[in-house]
Every structure is written in C-alpha cells, then in structure tokens.
Structure 1
Amino acid sequence: MLSVKVIVARTAGKVALETIELDERKLPDTHILVKTRYSAISAGTECAWISGNSNNPGQKFPFYPGYSAVGEVVQIGKDVKNFAVGDSVIVPRGGHRSYTMTPVTPVWTGAYKLSDSRINLKDAALTHIASFPMLGVRKLKIQLGESVMIAGLGILGQIALQAAKYSGAAPLLGCDFSPERRELALKLGADAVFDPQEPDFIEKIRAATNGKGVSAVVEVTGKAVALKQALGYTAKMGRISLLGCTRVPDCPIDFYRDVHLPGITLIGAHTSNRPANESRPGEWSEHDDYDAILKFLASGRFDFASLIHKTPSPADCTQVYDTLLNAPNPPMGIVFDWSLLEAN
C-alpha cells in the first residue's frame, strides 16, 4: 500500500493536507501510476469550488482541488502500450496529490507524454491550465493585424496574451486593476495596457484602435461587470470569447443595445465544449493543444516561468489557499513542489 498525500477541502473554505492509502496492486489495466513532481493551482476555479459558490453545478464536499500536474510514471497497467516507467507525463484532472492513478484511454482525455527535454517540468505543470486560454483565443479566429484585448491579466490572461500575440494580434491590448500584472503583460508582448478603473478607460481603448474599438476580446475575469464593460469597447461586428466563468449574474446587460444592435458575437469558451478527438479550425482537442503548448515552451515562444510566483510545499496548502481566498492581491501563479515533502 502507498501512503498518498492529498490536498482536500472537507468543508467550505477549509483546506488541509491529508494522508490516504492507495493499493497500487489494483491499478486498472488502462491506467498508469504517476508520482507527482509539480501541480499547479488554477486559482479562480479552485477557489470558487472551495468557497462553496452556489452557482457551481453539483457542488459538494469533500472537494479535491487541482487538475494540472506533471510527474513520473512509476507503474503501468497491463494494457498500456505507449508509456513506460520513467516517462515524464502531463496529468490532467488528477488533483493535488503525491501519487495519481490516471487513465491513458480514451487517448484524448488521459495522461500525455512529455518527451522534449528542453521543457522545464515546473513550467509543464501549467499545461492543462494553459489549454483553456488556448481555446479562448482559437475560438476568436484572429486574423493577422486585428486588434485584440485580453481582459484580465492573471495567469490565464497572460497565457491568452501570448497565444494572441502569435496569432497575429495588432495592436495587442490588456487590462487589469493590478499595475504589476499590467507591467508583466507589457514584458510578454502587449502593445498597451489599461486600468479598468480609470474614468476614461473606454475612450483610451478606442483611441488605441483608431476610434473603432477592438475587433476581438478574450474576457478572462469571469465578472459580469467586466463583460458589460467589454461590450462598450468592442468594435461593431466584433467578437468576445467568454474564457472566464461568469458564475454570478450580478450586473444587468442591455442585450439589445450592447449586443444585438452592434452585431457583437459572444462565444462560450468553456473547455468542456472542445472536440474530443478531431481538431478543427477554431477548436482544437485537448491533447492537440497540449502538443502546441509544449512546442511553444520548448522553442521559447511561451514564457511560463514569469507567471510562477511561488513554489510552496504542499504542507503549506492551508496557508496558500487562505491567502488565495482572502488576500486582496494574492500571488498569481502558484505551483506545489511535491519533492519538498520528501525533503522534510
């Protein structure tokens, strides 16, 4: 039996590291057993579920957060053909835990082999999370030279910004309350950044786009008020992809005036709606996006290292999540380093 460390919220807002027993002899034939090296926090989604947000479908406790990790294969099921002990793999939906049994079939939902040695494993832990902004950008079908706004410059927004840059966005704009995040966006390729709190915010965006407004927006914040604001600076016949999860409908929107008359297209970009296997223009499968992300990391086009601000031990998870849930300006990218448990 393996003693497995796992992060769990047994009640709303209360996160702890616990130990469970895992019988590795019962590894399913189509699964692999992975020893986790790093697991990345998806702060918006995880905090929404940990806090017990009433708009989450099927919300219940205990809740096991985490769905983007990387680790090493330590055991394979008897029907597994394309993985071997010692392989480094991306593990989606495995939780924050020291060992994970994860499927390799169906191929498009399971573990993904990491074969390029140029990729830092800590950066690779963000791969599954990064597939969300990849979809949000792809759904806009950006044309070379189109103006694009990334609304919200947290970790998803910074990845969306980099993806939009390589999709040909010009000018590439970003907005966020945080001056530090705006500064990082400029470093990662934004042409200009804005503070949504400024009284002339929309006028500045229109000035940056020759008075037209932006052609395409990736709405990352998941805030209804930010979506309403985006409708005010989007050009006629523009598109907005809804990457952030707008769970709380706390801001009324005049759909006739703000959507219907200007011909704006709102595009749902939740990852559950991507193709299972066969990619198509504007919508790639999960594993095809993994492949693209890893190519961009290996070539140096994507910078994930600048997005990771803390690498704590999982033993510190209670404090980490308390900060994410309650601090006014929490760290952006947090990746648990599971080797630190062994060091203690």
Structure 2
Amino acid sequence: MKLHSIWFEEKERAALRCEDLSGDLSGRQVLVKADYSLISAGTELANYHALPNTSIEGYPCTYPRSVGYSGSGHVIAVGPEAQTLKVGDRVAVVWSGHKSYFKQDEDFNLYKLPDAVDLKSAAFTHVASFPLLGVRKLQIQLGEAAMVAGLGLLGLIAVQAAKLSGAYPVLACDFSEERRKLALELGADHVLDPRDEDFIEKVRFLTDGKGPVATVEVTGSLAGLQQALEYTAFMGRISILGCTRISDQPINVYRYIHGKGLHIIGAHTRSRPPHDSQVGSWTAADDYQTFFKLVSARAMNVLLLIGKEVSPEDAEAVYREIGFSKTPPLGMLFDWRNIN
C-alpha cells in the first residue's frame, strides 16, 4: 500500500510525499486509516517559517521535517497479539503527523474514542489538551474573573474550559471581530478589542475595578503578554499558553511582576507530569479523556472552530494560504478519507 504524508521540504514549502508501506503487522501493532488531521497553526507555521525557538531545547529548525500531531482515524487491521483495539475501532491519533496511515503499537499514541465523539471533533484531541492544561494550571476558584487573551483554536477552547471551571465573568480579547463573536457563542461573558485606547480601563470596569484574577495568555506575542501583566489583578495568575517565540520587546519585570506579586505559570504541554496527574497539572492522557467526556456530553464544542476542510493533495497551497494570509481560516482540517 501507499503511505501519503505531509512534509516541509524546506522553508516555506510544503509537499505531500508518497512511499510504500507494508501491511504486515507483528505483535501488538495495528494499522489505522486516517480520517482527519488538524493543522495546529501556531506550531506548524513556526516550523514553516523557520522561526526561532521551534523547540524548547533551542534547536534550530531543520528540513525536511514531518509535521502534524493531532488527528483521528479507524483501525483496519491488527497484529496477532493486539488486545485493546480491534478492527473498526475509531481512535484519536496524537504526535504522529499528517499521514494517510498509522502503523504502530496499539498503546502508542492511539486513544479509543467513545461512541459519542465524532471523528472531526476527535481530530482536535491533542490540540484541545493544551488549553485544558493552560486553564488547569490557573486553579480557578468558583467566581474568579478570568481573561483569555488571543482567540485562535487554543483560546476559543480555553474560553470554554474557563467557563466550565467556574470562572465568572469570563472575558476574551482578540483583534478579530468574527472570533470575538464566536467567543460569545462559546460562553464568554464579555469580549474586547485589545487595540482600543481604553482597553485596560474596560477590563477593570468589567471586573469590579480589580482586573481578572486568572489570565490565559495565548496571543504568542510579548505585546499581548505586556498587556496581560498590566490588566491582571494584584497577586493574580497568568498561564502562558501561547508560544511566545520572539523576544521583540522588553518587559518591566520589577513594575508589572515583582511589584504586583503576579504568578507567571508556564503552560507548554511539555510541562506536564509524565505520569500521575496532580492538582493543576494533569497528564496528557488524562486530559484526552476529559476532552472525550466534555465532547460526549456536549459541554465543549470544537466543530464550530472548523473554518475549512481541505485535501492533503493541496498541502502546498494550504500552508501558503495560512502562512501568508492576514486573515486565514480559523481551524483547518485535512480530509484523508479519499487518500489511499
């Protein structure tokens, strides 16, 4: 059979590769046919443009490189010793790339889906776990005011997670009017444009003059972080969920962090415990199961975040669109169902 996969062959050039894949399975291996995979724009575009800090270790971005880490599919064959998965099972696939097939052990980056989780929602599984972590690390108390700054995929999921955690009011801010409206639809109590001259005054007015106690910073920019340092309440908490890769402006640590007693919390997914969830920081696997429960109960909606479904055959044009457009679609799904 043929394996198709998306690679960045060089800076700002994506391609769909094709190679042979043996269907022979051994031990607990299974073969999964992909249905959908979700583009994680922040991470993937950082690699597409060869931005600094594409890894937390500081390694430079090199090419060619495989991309993608959040998808869904169904099992089409199992090895002789497979125990937990069977043919026909639907799965979320994490850390495995944008590919047409996945051949791996059944307990390696594959998570069986409950019946109530559709395959499009399942493609969000790994990406959705990031904002769950970002909100968990804030340990929101019932009735605390919260702000979500930046309304991409992570921010719009964080809005829902903050609401479910008991934050009130939940504020959200973004440059995009369309995304602000969507945040309201998904549970935000108030939305704001951070470019407004009186933005910080509005934030304080909506939070009894104090500012939000808990802030999820997911703009990925130091300008956004600087604003968060200013409007977050005295002794408040900020989780840095967005990847702030470029240090393009100074931060007055003494005035806005030291003097205010702010708690700055790193919320990169690599900052999780590898085993045994704890208060404020669950394992990725436990957050995947939380996501499944919330989607099954219709307590979290990610289908509204899908802006466009595209063919992997158009990968080069797709990445060019989101890489250079000022207003790219929100969530983009690769549809692998007809790629064999």
TM-score range, shorter chain: over 0.9
4+ residue runs of structure 1 moved beyond 6 angstroms?
A: none
**Aligned residue identity for 2:201:** E
- Note the residue ranges of structure 2 that are not aligned, 5 or more in a row: none
- What's 1:77 paired with? 79
Superposition deviation, residue 32 in structure 1: 2.3
Distance 1:32 1:236 in 2: 52
Distance 2:271 2:176 in 1: 31
* C-alpha contact 2:76 2:88 (8 A) present in aligned 1: yes
- Could you say if the C-alpha distance between residues 284 and 205 of structure 1 is closer, same or farther in structure 2, counting changes exceeding 3 Å? same
SS of equivalent to 1:122: helix
* C-alpha contact 2:52 2:246 (8 A) present in aligned 1: no
- Could you say if the C-alpha distance between residues 340 and 75 of structure 1 is closer, same or farther in structure 2, counting changes exceeding 3 Å? closer
Superposition deviation, residue 62 in structure 1: 0.8
- What's 1:8 paired with? 7
- What's 1:17 paired with? 16
Range 80-89 or range 143-152, more displaced: 80-89
SS of equivalent to 1:189: coil
- What's 1:132 paired with? 130
Distance 2:277 2:43 in 1: 25
Query: Which of 234, 240, 243 is the equivalent residue of 1:242?
Result: 240
Query: Which of 287, 290, 312 is the equivalent residue of 2:288?
Result: 290
Distance 2:134 2:28 in 1: 31
SS of equivalent to 1:10: strand
**Aligned residue identity for 1:324:** I
Distance 1:96 1:67 in 2: 7
* C-alpha contact 2:277 2:283 (8 A) present in aligned 1: yes
SS of equivalent to 1:71: strand
Superposition deviation, residue 76 in structure 1: 2.6
- Note the residue ranges of structure 1 that are not aligned, 5 or more in a row: none
- What's 1:335 paired with? 333
Q: Deviations over 1:274-314 (max 9, x none)?
A: 12221111111111111111111011111111001111111
**Aligned residue identity for 1:310:** K
TM-score using structure 2 length: 0.96
Distance 1:28 1:178 in 2: 50
- Could you say if the C-alpha distance between residues 251 and 79 of structure 1 is closer, same or farther in structure 2, counting changes exceeding 3 Å? farther
Distance 1:273 1:51 in 2: 25
SS of equivalent to 2:310: coil
Q: Aligned-residue CA RMSD in angstroms?
A: 1.3
- What's 1:98 paired with? 100
**Aligned residue identity for 1:264:** L
* C-alpha contact 2:96 2:109 (8 A) present in aligned 1: no
* C-alpha contact 2:143 2:168 (8 A) present in aligned 1: yes
Query: Which of 37, 40, 44 is the equivalent residue of 1:39?
Result: 37
SS of equivalent to 1:9: strand
* C-alpha contact 1:175 1:195 (8 A) present in aligned 2: yes
What is the 5 A alignment of 1:134-149? 134-149=132-147
* C-alpha contact 2:33 2:75 (8 A) present in aligned 1: yes
SS of equivalent to 2:275: coil
TM-score using structure 1 length: 0.95
Superposition deviation, residue 240 in structure 1: 0.3
What is the 5 A alignment of 1:120-199? 120-199=118-197
Distance 1:248 1:104 in 2: 38
* C-alpha contact 2:142 2:167 (8 A) present in aligned 1: yes
Distance 2:112 2:219 in 1: 31
**Aligned residue identity for 1:186:** L
SS of equivalent to 2:339: helix
**Aligned residue identity for 1:23:** S
Report how many aligned residue pairs link the two structures: 336
Superposition deviation, residue 84 in structure 1: 1.2
* C-alpha contact 2:147 2:170 (8 A) present in aligned 1: yes
Percent identity of equivalent pairs:
48
Q: Deviations over 1:232-257 (max 9, x none)?
A: 00001100001011100111001111
Superposition deviation, residue 34 in structure 1: 1.0
- What's 1:315 paired with? 313
SS of equivalent to 1:235: coil
What is the 5 A alignment of 1:220-239? 220-239=218-237
Superposition deviation, residue 173 in structure 1: 0.3
Q: Deviations over 1:3-26 (max 9, x none)?
A: 11111111000001121112232x
* C-alpha contact 1:17 1:317 (8 A) present in aligned 2: yes
